[in-house]
Amino acid sequence: MKKALTSGLAGAAALAGAAFAEPADRAAVEKVLSTYETALNAKDVETIIALYADDGVFMPQHSSPQVGRAAVREAYRRVFAAITLDIEFHVDEIEPLSATWAFARTRSEGQVTVNATGQSAGEANQELFLFRRTDDGKWKIARYIFSTTNPPRQ
């Protein structure tokens, strides 16, 4: 019975997919975040888009939600046409939610420069990322929202 139960558990695990693997899956999620940081500062739209799931949703402040890769790509193009970022992310937490889902809560800080004027200002945001592991084992950004932590402009 013990053996049969073990087989059953293994079968269930196979059906559900492997569990979130420490430290490999966590490292993979961290790698997505660091790649995102670098690509954001480099205005590298295609690298960013490759980090998103096909049906990923980007929820930038001052914009309605951008659903799916084509809309997400256009949104980043608009952002990079308007501003240049020089920011660093700090990871507050990365938590597995299941074998195929995880979230990260982060903060970011640095400088934003308005391209049209050359004017720079301090930028500080908080972010919530939902990641999904795709069938080929890659972790992708499924949902992403941020908001400023700076006080309101007077």
User: Residues interacting with its own copies, by CB under 8 A?
Assistant: 1, 4-13, 15-16, 57, 59-65, 92, 97-98, 101, 103, 105, 107, 126-128, 130, 143, 145-153
Minimum distance between the CB of residue 30 and its own copies, rounded to whole angstroms? 18
Minimum distance between the CB of residue 37 and its own copies, rounded to whole angstroms? 18
Minimum distance between the CB of residue 51 and its own copies, rounded to whole angstroms? 17
Q: Are strands 66-67 and 139-148 parallel, antiparallel or unpaired?
A: unpaired
**Residue 62 vs 136, nearer CB to its own copies:** 62
Q: What is the DSSP letter of 151?
A: P
Structure tokens, 82: 């308007």
Minimum distance between the CB of residue 128 and its own copies, rounded to whole angstroms? 5
**Residue 1 vs 46, nearer CB to its own copies:** 1
Closest CA to 123 of 75, 66, 65, 82: 82
Task: Report the distance separating Cα 6 and Cα 85, nearest Å.
Answer: 52
Q: Give 152: exposed, middle or buried? Use CB within 10 Å, 0-12, 13-18, 19+.
A: exposed
**Residue 20 vs 39, nearer CB to its own copies:** 20
